[in-house]
Structure 1
Amino acid sequence: MTSADPETELPEQTESQNAEHTSAKASHVSRTGTWIRLAVFVLLAGIISLAYYNFRDVLTLKYLATQETNWRDFASQHPVAIYLIAFLIYTSITGLSLPGAVPLTLTYGWFFGFWKALLLVSFSSTAGATLAFLTSRYLFRSAIQSRYGERFAVINQQFEKEGAFYLFILRLVPAFPFFLINVLMGLTTIRAWTFWWVSQIGMLAGTAVFVYAGTSVPTLQELSEQGAKGILTPQLIIAFILLGTFPLLIKKIVNRIQSRS
């Protein structure tokens, strides 16, 4: 009877032991990750429950309606200050390419009313976009070009063919995210003043739709008095329809204009 060669058995045993060790280690890591996620979930649930218990009176609709009245009284007493603060907040968010422009537009429409909010959002969003445009052009040009080189090539090629009209189309039917349009147009040869007024006109229609949607939301006082039935008003339903159909309508109009040119 021939005995097995110890030299051939050792590597096989070593590989088997390594595999078992790796499997055990992976299982341990998986269990550890599960316990960590569970601990985080319990911690968050505890924090939320504690916050709700301590502030349950503050979170009632009646209390919030009272605060809304105080906010509106403050706005009527200090109109210049409140509009300046609102302008700076919106300009900062769009200028720094932070998320939240859409909810803020809806909130401004709800709080200020249609025409005041339209003027406020139109000028502050354009100011923020131009701020991002200038920052891209003069401070972060090489970094942005190296990161978004392919997308810039597309925008630059179309801009050279169609000029400022291409920016107008992008504002009506954004093919790229809002912040990308701002920073990538900063790498083109378009003048800052042209970028400003084309952006302001191009974004006006979309801004009006979102502001109108904001004005359609009932005040907290109305919700407190009418309850849930005060939410679905005809105006709000129209606003939802506009939000859904407006991009499609604008896209068809732009396609028709481009096909004729």
Structure 2
Amino acid sequence: MTERNASRPGHLSPDANETASPVAPRRSKIWRFTPVIIVLAGLALGYAFGLQDYLSLAFLAEQRQALRAYVDANFLWSAMLFLGIYIAAVAFSFPAASVLTIFGGFLFGWMIGGALVAVGATIGASILFLATRSAFGSFLRHRVDGVVKKLADGFRENAFGYLFVIRLAPVFPFFVVNIAAALFDISLGRFFAATFFGILPGTFAYAYLGQGVDSVLVAAQESGQEAKISDLVTPEITLAFFALALVALIPTVVRQIRKRSASR
């Protein structure tokens, strides 16, 4: 019986299994890092092709009439194209979110432009989140202890509240939050919801600024200077974002205080 099993073409001996077993984990590791490699390659290609020159207020100032004429003639196609560009820019961590949001408001109006940006930013952020989690998702869980572990556990327990507040007040770069959230190992559903609802105020505010950016671009061209986002964003708007974030943080803080009081 043993000899027959050993002579079958499909039967593997114990030695063959031991030899083949290390290959599977190695392949699994490579596949885990593939999405992150694609993101980094896409970012490098974007800079290599000079996309940063097109995703700027200077380009918008030069091409604003041509872009608006194209959108007016091909509105639906332009909206889908803009959505795809925004998803790709966020997924590949290209630093152009604020400028693209202003583009959206200028080309489509604050309402439609803001809606396109909110959807595109959330989908793009979720793609980067999943790519990072596939490669490094268990990093903190298995390698940290003490205060950092408590911080990670607290973040996971109140993921929606913390992320929502961080999205409301854009203190940290958008792509940094996407990566950090993946390292803290929270669920995709919470990440998606907190991102979408958290960016809505800022998204529509920037889209509204974009709707009226034409006069700023014209003034900058006449003066021979390049328009900057700082010319549009006032200190009052920034303070409003922080105030909104502080208000949103109150329920999370109260919940933590009650939890500590109950555990004593």
TM-score by length of 1: 0.59
Which of 165, 179, 183 matches 1:187? Answer: 183
Partner of 2:110: 114
Of residues 80, 85, 89, the one that matches 1:89 is: 85
* Counterpart mapping for 1:234-253 below 5 A: 240-253=234-247
Within 2, Cα distance between the matches of 1:74 and 1:91? Answer: 21
Give the aligned partner of residue 36 of structure 1: none
Q: Give the 3 Å change call, closer, same or farther, for CA 110–153 of structure 1 in structure 2.
A: farther
Residues 241, 86 of structure 1: CA spacing in aligned structure 2 closer, same or farther, 3 A cutoff? Answer: same
- Report if the CA contact (8 A) 2:161-2:252 is conserved: no
- Pair member with larger Rg: 1
Q: Which residue of 1 aligns with 2:128?
A: 132
Which runs of 5 or more structure 1 residues have no equivalent in the other structure?
1-58, 229-235
Q: In the alignment, residue 240 of structure 1 is paired with which amino acid?
A: T
Name the Cα RMSD after superposition: 3.7
Question: What's the counterpart of residue 166 of structure 1?
Answer: 162
Matches within 5 A, 1:1-261: 64=62, 67-141=63-137, 156-174=152-170, 176-218=172-214, 223=218, 240-261=234-255
Q: Aligned letter for 2:131?
A: T
What amino acid sits opposite 1:249 in the alignment? A
Kept in 2, the 8 Å contact 1:172–1:203? The answer is: yes
CA drift at 1:141:
4.0
d(CA) in 2 for partners of 1:241, 1:137: 36
Q: Distance in 1 between matches of 2:172 and 2:233?
A: 24
CA contact (8 A) 1:155 1:185 kept: no
Shift of 1:223: 3.5
Aligned identity (percent) is 24
1:213 touches 1:240 (CA, 8 Å); kept in 2?
no
Q: Describe the superposition over 1:204-250 as per-residue Cα deviations: whole angstroms up to 9, x where unpaired.
A: 11111111221221258x938xx67xxxxxxx999625433223322
Sort the Cα spacing of 1:238 and 1:95 in 2 relative to 1 into closer, same or farther, 3 A. closer
**Structure 2 residues not aligned, in runs of 5+:** 1-57, 224-229, 256-264
TM-score by length of 2: 0.58
**1:158 partner amino acid:** G
Distance in 1 between residues matched to 2:137 and 2:156, nearest whole Å: 19
Asked if structure 1 preserves the Cα contact closer than 8 Å seen for 2:159 and 2:191, the reply is: no
Secondary structure of the structure 2 residue equivalent to 1:186: helix
Structure 1 residue 121 displacement after superposition: 0.6
Tell me the number of residue pairs that the alignment of Structure 1 and Structure 2 aligns: 188
Deviation at 1:193, TM superposition (A): 2.4
Q: Separation in 2 of the partners of 1:134 and 1:205?
A: 25
**Deviations 1:55-106 (Å, cap 9, x if unpaired)?**
xxxx9xxx94xx5333222212222321122112111111111211112212
**Judging changes above 3 Å, is the alpha-carbon distance between structure 1 residues 111 and 189 closer, same or farther for their aligned structure 2 residues?**
same
